[in-house]
Amino acid sequence: AQSVAQPEDQVNVAEGNPLTVKCTYSVSGNPYLFWYVQYPNRGLQFLLKYITGDNLVKGSYGFEAEFNKSQTSFHLKKPSALVSDSALYFCAVREQAGTALIFGKGTTLSVSS
């Protein structure tokens, strides 16, 4: 069965510092990986995806993620955090033939000024 793990409930970083939000996955076959962000009282917003190709994927708002097949990871990164990046981040996986997005439980990112 597919599953996604986000090992950190909360990540705290200072503005201007690099940030990493971790995600590991378990899926049979090739994984299709996604990151979404949820701001308070807002729906989930798509950030980026990995389907195939280059392991480093660039997305919205300066975020990027690195797909590592041997470690079954898809960590979200940003070189310089902004206070406005503070939100709830979800990693999700989907099997090629399936339709459901399987989400991790989410990681709250808090960026302090």
Partner 1 sequence: DAMVIQNPRYQVTQFGKPVTLSCSQTLNHNVMYWYQQKSSQAPKLLFHYYDKDFNNEADTPDNFQSRRPNTSFCFLDIRSPGLGDAAMYLCATSRDLFLGQGSHEQYFGPGTRLTVT
Instruction: Decide if residue 53 touches partner 1 (CB under 8 A).
Output: no
Task: Using DSSP, state whether 91 is helix, strand or coil.
Answer: strand
Candidates 4, 13, 23, 33; binder of partner 1 (CB under 8 A) is: 4
Residues 6+ apart with CB under 8 A from 14: 81, 111, 112, 113
Nearest one of 104, 83, 89, 94 to 14, comparing CA atoms: 83
Residue 58 within binding range of partner 1, rule CB under 8 A: no
| Under rule CB under 8 A, residue 31 binds partner 1 | no
Stretch that binds partner 1, among 17-25, 68-76, 78-86, 96-104 (CB under 8 A): 96-104
Q: Tell me: does residue 46 bind partner 1 (CB under 8 A).
A: yes
- H/E run at residue 23: none
C-alpha 101/C-alpha 77 separation (Å) is 21
The residue ranges that bind partner 1 (CB under 8 A) are: 4, 32, 34, 36, 41-46, 49, 51, 90, 94, 96-97, 99-106
